[in-house]
């Protein structure tokens, strides 16, 4: 946790006092004897005390401290969020603006939600291109092979299969659907820049990337977010593709 100057502490206290006034309009006294002011001063004292014992805080404690810091940081900025009308919101950048993780996340969400809405309304759910399904047999074993391609699910997520994917079929069964789901895979962990000079710089890492990928499964029925690519049936001791099944296509 970084050390705050006297001016920053004063700004934080003032912002928290304003927020208390907004949330609890009946609270009008800001004197030191007021219980609300006492709680704010107690929080400030506890945070100051923790700074001198930061080396003794474990990972859970540091995670809680980050959460408290994020809440405090949000109070320092603008608190009038209720004046925004319904509708998509994007970040309004300006010189001198203090940006946080929440701002960059909001920017990503704005673009992602617009893309999802466009996909849902204009194209619907289904296969865009590729994703042909075939069967491969090796002796008594069989597997489903999904070719590379692109699909959109009912939420508007883009599901890309960049390399062929395989699914082993069970030894026996009845009817199974080949389903494709949108998935996310966290990757590339990197160390967090330590603000405490006594902390181990390698003690904490965060995921720096999220890969938008897919998961393929076999199931007797599909849920609302799955794209059914094919149907396989078990007859006479072997699996076969149901040629009557047609995967849904997006609107063009």
- Whether the per-residue pLDDT at 134 is higher than 80: the answer is yes
Of the candidates 28, 6, 7, the residue with the CA atom closest to the CA atom of residue 17:
28
Residue 192 carries which DSSP code?
P
Contact 205, 190 (CB under 8 A): yes
The percent of residues above 90 in pLDDT, for the chain, comes to 49
Higher pLDDT, 2 or 45: 45
pLDDT of residue 151: 97
Mean per-residue pLDDT over the chain, rounded: 82
Does an H or E element contain 152, and which?
Answer: strand 149-152
pLDDT of residue 108: 93
Can you read off the two tokens belonging to residue 142?
């069989």
Contact 175, 233 (CB under 8 A): yes
For β-strands 149-152 and 158-161, DSSP reports them as antiparallel
- Whether the per-residue pLDDT at 133 is higher than 90: the answer is yes
Contact 159, 128 (CB under 8 A): no
Contacts of 183 (CB under 8 A, 6+ apart): 212, 213, 214, 215
Q: What is the mean pLDDT of residues 9-23?
A: 65
pLDDT of residue 220: 93
What residue spans define the domains of the chain?
6-116, 125-241
Rounded Cα distance between 135 and 142, Å, is: 7
Q: What is the pTM (predicted TM-score) of this model?
A: 0.63
- Whether the per-residue pLDDT at 17 is higher than 70: the answer is no
Rounded Cα distance between 188 and 170, Å, is: 34
pLDDT of residue 42: 75
How long a stretch of residues is the chain?
252
Contacts of 154 (CB under 8 A, 6+ apart): 120, 125, 224, 225
Tens-place pLDDT, residues 24-42: 656 555 555 566 667 777 7
Confidence of residue 59 (pLDDT cuts 50, 70, 90): low
Tens-place pLDDT, residues 66-99: 666 666 665 554 444 557 788 888 999 999 999 9
Q: What is the mean pLDDT of residues 105-111?
A: 92
């Amino acid at each position: 946790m970084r050390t705050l100057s006297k001016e920053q502490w004063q700004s934080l206290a003032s912002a928290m006092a304003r927020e208390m006034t907004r949330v609890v309009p009946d609270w009008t006294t800001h004197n030191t004897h007021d219980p609300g002011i006492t709680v704010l001063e107690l929080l400030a004292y506890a945070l100051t005390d923790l700074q001198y014992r930061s080396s003794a805080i474990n990972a859970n404690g540091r995670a809680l401290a980050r959460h408290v810091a994020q809440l405090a940081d949000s109070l320092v900025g603008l608190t009038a969020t209720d004046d925004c009308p319904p509708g998509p919101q994007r970040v309004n950048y300006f010189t001198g603006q203090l940006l946080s993780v929440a701002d960059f996340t909001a920017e990503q969400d704005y673009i992602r939600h617009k893309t999802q809405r466009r996909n849902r309304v204009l194209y619907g759910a289904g296969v865009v291109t590729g994703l042909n399904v075939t069967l491969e047999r090796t002796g008594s074993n069989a597997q489903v092979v999904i070719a590379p391609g692109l699909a959109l699910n009912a939420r508007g997520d883009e599901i890309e299969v960049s390399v062929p994917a395989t699914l082993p079929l069970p030894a026996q069964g009845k009817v199974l659907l080949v389903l494709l789901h949108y998935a996310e895979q966290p990757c590339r962990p990197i160390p967090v820049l330590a603000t405490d000079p006594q902390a181990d710089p390698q003690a904490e890492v965060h995921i720096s990337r999220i890969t938008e990928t897919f998961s393929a499964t076999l199931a007797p029925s599909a849920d609302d977010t799955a794209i059914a690519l094919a149907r396989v049936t078990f007859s006479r001791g072997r699996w076969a593709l149901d040629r009557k099944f047609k995967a849904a296509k997006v609107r063009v």
